[in-house]
């Protein structure tokens, strides 16, 4: 199996404040197209105009970095050298034409002025050369009308089935020699694996026959096809082998209550891979060699009880491990498998060092690290532990890297601010990437390199955006052939789907909170019913891209707000740790502040606010209707936590090595008993008056069924009617197509009944 995209852990963002030199009254005036607010005819500087334009025409109201990036797109090179000088009419025209994405071949200020006049941006104004604050409010009102030019009729209703049914063929991978391609496609309403010979007219052959559960993923070991799946959502994933005709499927790890993970494809070693498996002790993962032909396993490395990850060198020898008590830890190293592990790098609470790969000569290690710094960076260590920083970003963590084993170098790293962005380290690979980008006519944030052959001449690439679920292509760099392989959910028309807008705002205690706002297509962004959708984790983050459930809600006329509250990953150590022991407290305040921001912008109708979330987002839903019961008119808790004490008592055994991290970040059941009691919604059901819908999978190993049972029972004992959907063949979230369709139909019916009165 090839080394491809190595995911780095994510973590925080800058918190510098934004200075907007205009009053909030004027901002609100600019945001309200019908405003008649009178302001003094004071002249406006270029900086003041730009700040007001960003506030009015974008949703970036809290992040100085993002505001600056937007301004840099509107003002280029040596334009506007003196930002303190009064803004001129033609200069404002150039800014607004770019802000509205109406720029074509304009070259002079006069041409920008002409375009602005055609757009009606200066309607109702005098012909003065400079612009006053009062003029700016009118101009920006006109610009908003152009930007939001909608009929307010919405778009046609798209069925739940169209959003939630199997989207078609995906997960394309090339065989190491590039002669075959595998992908996942529906069969009997379940995702199964298919294989096809390249440059051949023969039909794809289905090589798996799963009827009970979707295949979770597949991969190649030389000319062997392997796939992974669990049973009923229990997350005990096993590795299966299959023949090219699908006649011989075999569970290679047929051990009950055991979950398996791939460690190394052992390049150059025939028929064997390295796996991690909790077969001997459910709490920890040992390392085994697995023969993919026979299923024979050979014990390679014993876990003493505190190893959370392992790393093999380029020869397949396990020579590095990360030991942790859940809070502090040590990267361990040994010269050979015959030697004992010794401390290599130690890290403290809040720090992380994640080894990714050995160099070709096995004398260096690539890793991601935030040791001694706030942001996660890509680093390179020699065998003495001396560090060289390869990639960093001042605002966010490095999100991941692509390392080429054959070239023995990083090809690129990625980071996520508003969207995904790349930093390249290989000139040839960047040229190839930009060539593909130009061929496909997409931004870099929409393009992904999914797979490639050993020689890196044949590629699987994908394109996705907020309105495009995904397209897959095959590209041969030797012939420059680009061939479309599949389009996900081709029945969905991107022109009828809603844009996801990056946003930022300030929390009540001054943190910059980033997130995304999706507005219903062809509807005026005014007094809309709003669904705030807190993400799971909470040590995760929302990102820009296609989200079927968000698109479904937007299609039904809802604005959808997703916020990366404190404790979200990707924004650095300080931001993540700001959420420690803040479940139901400051984390919840960040969510509430986001709702209030949407209300203050005039986007959300304060009487029609709903909250819906899964996992931690389900907890935040329950916390929202207990801590701010007057804010929400409807709530949907999907596999959410109701009682933090029972959550901590029922975490999967293989999470035992990070139990102390839960105590550090959430709270200790004895030392923080008062805090956790106050933060557990099940103990505060007397405050709940918001209509509630709960959904749960019976086999959920993370958030047990008891979490949902408790809150439903407590409410029903108070005579409160709560809708409850329980699925016996699901785990942490519904994956089976029929269950997803049933859930989202029920959720929409529930939300509509309470938010569209």
- pLDDT tens figures, 319-362: 999 999 999 999 999 999 999 999 999 999 999 999 999 999 99
Q: Which helix (H) or strand (E) holds 436?
A: helix 427-440
Closest Cα to residue 542, out of 561, 559, 562, 558?
562
Of the residues 61, 238, 535, 732, only one is catalytic, namely: 732
Give the C-alpha distances (Å, rounded to integers) separating 565 from 499, 594, 597: 21, 9, 14
Question: 700 catalytic, yes or no?
Answer: yes
Q: Please indicate whether residue 208 is annotated as part of the active site.
A: no
Q: What does the block give as tokens for 679?
A: 């933060």
Cα distances (angstroms) measured from residue 349 to each of 310, 393, 541, 666: 20, 22, 21, 14
Specify whether the CB–CB gap between 705 and 729 falls below 8 A: no
Is 535 one of the annotated active-site residues of the chain? no
Q: What is the pLDDT of residue 697?
A: 96
Between CA 644 and CA 52 the distance in angstroms is 44
Residue 28's pLDDT is what? 44
> Could you say which of 615, 642, 680, 708 is catalytic?
615
Name the active-site residue from 535, 700, 708, 735: 700
Instruction: Look up residue 291 and give its two tokens.
Output: 């023969």
Q: In the prediction, which pLDDT does 582 show?
A: 98
Q: Which residues of the chain have pLDDT under 70?
A: 1-41, 245-246
Q: What is the pLDDT of residue 355?
A: 96
Q: Return d(Cα 297, Cα 312) in angstroms, integer.
A: 17
pTM for this model (two decimals): 0.91
Cα–Cα distance for residue pair 643/622, rounded to 1 Å: 10
Radius of gyration of the chain (CA): 27
Residues 600, 519: Cα–Cα separation, whole Å:
16
């Amino acid at each position: 199996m090839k080394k491809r995209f190595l995911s780095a852990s994510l973590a925080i963002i800058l918190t510098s404040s934004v200075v907007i030199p205009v009053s909030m009254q004027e901002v609100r005036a600019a945001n309200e197209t019908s405003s008649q607010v009178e302001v003094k005819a004071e002249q406006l500087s270029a900086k003041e105009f730009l700040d007001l334009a960003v506030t009015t025409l974008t949703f970036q109201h809290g992040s100085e970095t993002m505001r600056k990036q937007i301004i840099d797109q509107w003002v280029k090179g040596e334009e506007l050298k003196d930002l303190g000088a009064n803004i001129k009419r033609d200069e404002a025209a150039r800014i607004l034409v770019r802000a509205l994405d109406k720029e074509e071949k304009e070259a002079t200020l006069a041409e920008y002025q002409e375009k602005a006049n055609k757009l009606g941006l200066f309607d109702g104004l005098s012909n003065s050369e400079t612009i006053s604050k009062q003029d700016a409010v009118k101009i920006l009102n006109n610009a908003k009308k152009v930007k939001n030019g909608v009929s307010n009729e919405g778009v046609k209703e798209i069925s739940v089935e169209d959003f939630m049914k199997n989207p078609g063929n995906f997960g394309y991978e090339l065989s190491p020699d590039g002669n075959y391609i595998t992908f996942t496609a529906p069969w009997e309403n379940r995702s199964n694996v298919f294989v096809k010979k390249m440059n051949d007219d023969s039909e794809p052959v289905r090589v798996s026959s799963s009827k009970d559960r979707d295949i979770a993923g597949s991969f190649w070991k030389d000319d062997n096809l392997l796939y992974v799946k669990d049973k009923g959502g229990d997350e005990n994933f096993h590795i299966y082998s299959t023949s090219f005709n699908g006649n011989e499927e075999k569970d290679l790890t047929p051990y009950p209550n055991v979950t398996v993970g791939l460690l190394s494809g052992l390049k150059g070693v025939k028929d064997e891979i390295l796996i991690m498996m909790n077969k001997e002790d459910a709490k920890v993962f040992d390392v085994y060699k697995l023969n993919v032909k026979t299923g024979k396993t050979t014990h390679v490395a014993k876990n003493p009880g505190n190893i959370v990850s392992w790393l093999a060198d380029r020869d397949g020898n396990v020579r590095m491990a990360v030991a942790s008590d859940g809070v502090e830890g040590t990267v361990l190293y040994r010269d050979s498998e015959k030697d004992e592990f010794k401390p290599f790098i130690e890290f403290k609470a809040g720090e992380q060092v994640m080894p990714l790969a050995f160099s070709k000569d096995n004398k260096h290690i690539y890793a991601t690290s935030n040791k001694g710094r706030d942001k996660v960076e890509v680093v390179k260590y020699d065998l003495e532990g001396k560090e060289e920083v390869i990639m960093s970003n001042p605002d966010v963590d490095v999100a991941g890297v692509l390392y080429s084993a054959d070239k023995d170098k990083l090809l690129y790293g990625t980071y996520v601010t508003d969207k995904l962005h790349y930093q390249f380290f290989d000139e040839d690979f960047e040229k190839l990437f930009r060539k593909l980008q130009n061929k496909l006519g997409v931004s870099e944030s929409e393009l992904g390199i999914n797979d490639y052959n050993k020689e890196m001449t044949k590629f699987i690439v994908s394109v996705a955006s907020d309105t495009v679920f995904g397209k897959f292509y095959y590209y041969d760099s030797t012939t420059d052939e680009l061939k479309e392989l599949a389009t996900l959910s081709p029945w969905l028309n991107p022109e009828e789907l809603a844009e996801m807008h990056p946003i930022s705002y300030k929390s009540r205690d001054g943190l910059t909170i980033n997130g995304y706002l999706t507005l219903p297509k062809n509807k005026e962004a005014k007094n809309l019913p709003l669904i705030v959708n807190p993400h799971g984790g909470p040590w995760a983050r929302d990102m820009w891209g296609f989200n079927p459930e968000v698109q479904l809600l937007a299609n039904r006329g809802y604005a959808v707000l997703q916020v990366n509250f404190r404790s979200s990953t990707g924004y650095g150590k300080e931001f993540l740790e700001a959420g420690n022991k803040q479940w139901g407290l400051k984390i919840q305040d960040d969510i509430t502040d986001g709702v209030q921001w949407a209300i203050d912008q005039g986007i959300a109708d304060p009487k029609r606010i709903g909250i819906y979330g899964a996992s931690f987002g389900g907890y935040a839903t329950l916390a929202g209707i207990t801590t701010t019961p007057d804010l929400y008119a409807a709530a949907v808790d999907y596999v959410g936590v109701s009682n933090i004490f029972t959550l901590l008592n029922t975490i999967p055994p293989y999470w035992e090595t990070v139990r102390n991290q839960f105590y550090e970040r959430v709270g200790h059941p004895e030392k923080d008993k008062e805090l956790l009691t106050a933060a557990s919604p099940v103990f505060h059901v007397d405050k709940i008056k918001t209509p509630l819908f709960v959904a749960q999978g019976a086999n959920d190993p993370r958030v047990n069924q008891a979490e949902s049972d408790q809150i439903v029972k407590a409410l029903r004992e108070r005579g409160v009617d709560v809708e409850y959907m329980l699925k016996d063949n699901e785990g942490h979230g519904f994956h089976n197509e029929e269950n997803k369709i049933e859930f989202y139909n029920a959720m929409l019916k529930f939300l509509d009944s309470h938010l569209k009165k």
